[in-house]
Chains A and B, each alone.
Chain A
Amino acid sequence: MHIRPLGAVLLALALLPAPRADAANFSVKAAEAYLNDRVLHVNARFDLPVNPRIVEALSKGIPIDVVIDVNMAKHRWWWRNRVITDHVLHRRIQFHALSRQYLVSGLRENDPSESFGSLSQALEHAGTLDEFEIILTAKKEIEADARYLLVLRARLDIEALPMLMRPLAYATPSWRRSTGWTEWPIEQVQP
């Protein structure tokens, strides 16, 4: 059989063993949301496990950014859901060597950072949305009988890593951390 060179390369790539993820991926532990008077209240717990590679990078002073996408979408059975509003939260975890503290910034507005004695605490706080509020502007129409969804995702932001690390991070699965998009029902509280 005659195999073209390009075909042979593609075949070889396909036959390479798929890289194995060395730790569990990010996930959403629990989430709930309710809409009260055009204010969306979100409570969510993300599980952000880290692998030794990320721990090592953190210990060497590399800040790790976790991006949390909080979207509200209107359910449409006949087509893709329509996004009503989208919100992005950036949370940065950094090790402070002198104080041996993990600093998490972006937890609250106007608060530069919060320090934690351990990484697990820092991650737990970074992955927590506690009564996070999104105020819907007047333009966004809310229908009382429609079904709305909370669409969540938390991921490690590779683009926020130092530039030199990005190609490797993209190439290695250890750095590709994401919960993927998850959908949660939104409860509408009648006033």
Chain B
Amino acid sequence: MAEVRSAKPSVNEASFTGRFFRVTRVSPLAVLSVLLAISLGMMSAATQNSALFGDLYSLLLVLNILGVVLLLTLILLSVSKLVRQFRARVMGSRLTLRLFGLFVLLSVVPVAVVYLFSVQAFNRGIDNWFDVRIEQALDSALALGRTALDTTKEDLTRKARDMAAELDNSTRGLLPTLNALREQHGVFELTLFNQDGKVVSSSTQGAVRGKSVIPDRPGETVFTQARRGEVYAGIEPLGDSGLQLRVLVPVIPRSVGAPMRVLQVLEPLPERYARLGQNVQAAFAEYEKLFYLRGPLKFGFTLTLSLVALSTLLLAVWAAIYAARKLVTPIRDLAEGTRAVARGDYSQQLPVPVGDELGILVQSFNVMTRRIRRAQGEITRGQREAEIQRTYLETVLTHLSSGVLSFDPRGHLRTHNAAAHQILGVDLLSGEGKTLARLVEMHPGLAPFGVALRELLRKAQTEWQAEITLPGGAGRRVLMVRGTRLPGLHGRTGGHVVVFDDITALIQAQRDAAWGEVARRLAHEIKNPLTPIQLSAERIRHKCMDGLPERERATLDRATHTIVQQVEAMKAMVNAFSEYARPAQLHIQSVNLNQLVQDVVELYKGRTNPVRYQLNLDAALPVLQADPGQLRQVLHNLLLNATDALAATDNPTMEIATRTVDEPHGRFVELYVRDNGPGFAPSVLDHLFEPYVTTKDKGTGLGLAIVKKVVEEHNGTLWAGTLKDGGAAFTIRLPADVARAALARGKNA
């Protein structure tokens, strides 16, 4: 619980921090923009002579320049980051830079054009304010005012000189003289200074009316000038709107050695004059000031305008960077996501930007990757299942005793199993993907099978069954072949699967079993009446012999003898049959086949036999594990058979050979018996090893059947054929391997 409680605030904290960063990522720009806009507005107001911001002008200027510099720095940092990303080939940086360039171009060009035209228009406008004629008029007005004032001034100077002369000549007291002079000349104030600048006496208009007025003192420079004996006459501004004339004249004493004094005359200009004069002065001063300030005015306005334009530009540039980044982010995400998908990483889920087509695109991408991922999972699962299925099928096919071949619709071999390879005795692996015709070319031994199968496939029945007989070195073989057409896509034929079994042994076994049964029944049915027949014949002879005359006796004796003899022969024959039909009783031991051959042949040589025996025995023949008695029987039967066949042949010859044969599936000992007799008729050849097949007048017809039976009981094979130059040939192949022998032994046991 404690953990849960402690985890909660951190989640809130994280979300708060995230929100804060999201907000502050935009806000520096916004805050700076607003501040800059306000500052620029205030500066603009100041430029337009606003009293409110006029005092802050310098500060505002500095602030704005700082703002612009800050903005510029931030933008430079952003641009350098962009360039670095571009150089590092960061995904999306190229597009960002391109968009940024486009935005900048779109914003810079209009602003620059407006700025240049504004500056030009503004400068021309300011120049147009100032008219030469107005300037001349003001100059003239000023000159006129000055002339008028100068006239008044000269007038007052003359009066002052007169007064100074009169003052010097006066015999009255100073003050009355001054008062009289002032009233006489109608001036405002008269003041007499001594050489040190101290007031000797003064008369003012107001003082007469009973007011005490401190006399107006001249400036030090002015007084010094008067003290030097020069006349000073000047017009002085009086307060805000008045003007007064000040004249200082030296009062030079007539008596030598008397101190020089200075008389100051003050006369304010009449109010109307003064006002007019001040108006002219004010207008002139204002115009001059304006004219003088037109340079700074242009500069100030240009500066403000430049700052505004620059700020606008920089803000636009920043906005361009921001917009380009904002636009490119989902595109970059998409590009990276697509690249990941191309690499096979389907786990990509991109952050979805809100509310525009890009958002829909990103959402679709996310849905797509999710679906692909799901489909991918299903495919993998399906593949795994198919693999399991295939392995299962392969295992089944491999362990199937039937040969299985499958062909595609164009007749190319697609699959085969081990049994097919074993039954057909050819390497089918190299034949995969090849047609039947090509397979036959590669393995000529396969020709009968290939031709027959091609014919069967050509008929293209859905299901078919056929027997194919293969002649071969190892004897005739019969294959039971079943074919099925495979289902194809879109209703087309999907090839064939062919399953076949070597049923030679089966057929043979069936035949053998049938013959065994026949022999057994025959022996049973025939043997039973034979003994009564023999006994009856002997009784007849015994009873009737003595009572018959000599001639009849001899006849009876001959007849009964014949019956008994024929019955004996029949008995022997029946016994042979039952022997054939009886299950084998093998007595396995090590047998030297060469020795056995030599022993048997020796027996035949001993007789008065015209046949020449030619032995080609392999000295390195391995020792066989077999029943020597049975093998001896086989040799006897073969030699007897050949000897009988050679009865009508001139220069009869028989060849008996042994050799070792190494086959892929084992080692074999081969016995080969050949004669130069008439050979076999083709009709006989098919049933050569069946009982009762004989071309001879005598014999049981079981000789070769027994040979075959013994060979098969020893797990061997045998086949017979007619040679090209006539004569018959028998080949018996017995397994030489100990394992085979042991197997055979176990089976027999």
Contact = CB atoms under 8 A, between A and B. Distances in A.
A164 B297 contact: yes
A5 B235 CA distance: 62
Interface string A147-191: 000000000001100111111101000000000000000000000
Given A117-B221, A162-B289, A163-B54, A5 B76 contact: yes
Given A98-B149, A99-B243, A164-B300, A115 B237 contact: yes
B293 A164 contact: yes
Contacts of B300: 163-164, 167
Contacts of A30: none
A96 interface: yes
Contact of B235 (A98, A114, A121): A98
Contact of B219 (A99, A114, A162, A167): A114
A112 B293 contact: no
A103 B240 CA distance: 12
A98 B275 CA distance: 12
Given A101-B237, A115-B234, A61 B286 contact: yes
A6 B76 contact: yes
A159 B299 CA distance: 17
B296 interface: yes
A162 B57 CA distance: 10
Interface majority SS on B: helix, strand, loop or mixed? Answer: helix
B291 interface: yes
Nearest to B54: A163
Interface in A105-149: 112-117, 121, 125
A159 B237 CA distance: 26
B57 A166 contact: yes
Q: How many B residues are at the interface, by size bracket?
A: 35 or more
B288 A167 contact: no
A57 interface: yes
A97 B296 contact: no
Nearest to B51: A163
Interface string B271-299: 00000011011001110110111011101
A42 interface: no
B286 to A, nearest CB: 7
Nearest to B296: A164
A76 interface: no
Interface residues of A, number: 32
A163 B234 contact: no
Contacts of A159: 55, 58
A165 B288 CA distance: 14
A44 interface: no
Given A97-B281, A99-B149, A167-B299, 14 more contacts: A62-B289, A62-B293, A97-B142, A99-B281, A115-B219, A115-B234, A115-B236, A163-B47, A163-B49, A163-B300, A164-B297, A166-B61, A167-B303, A168-B299
28 contacts: A6-B76, A56-B292, A57-B292, A60-B289, A61-B284, A97-B281, A98-B146, A98-B149, A98-B280, A98-B284, A99-B235, A99-B281, A101-B236, A103-B237, A112-B240, A115-B237, A117-B234, A162-B289, A162-B296, A163-B46, A163-B54, A163-B57, A164-B300, A165-B296, A166-B58, A167-B299, A167-B300, A168-B296
Interface of B: 46-47, 49, 54-55, 57-58, 61, 73, 76, 142, 145-146, 149, 219, 221-222, 234-237, 239-240, 243, 277-278, 280-281, 284-286, 288-289, 291-293, 295-297, 299-300, 303
Interface of A: 5-6, 56-57, 60-62, 96-101, 103, 112-117, 121, 125, 158-159, 162-168, 170
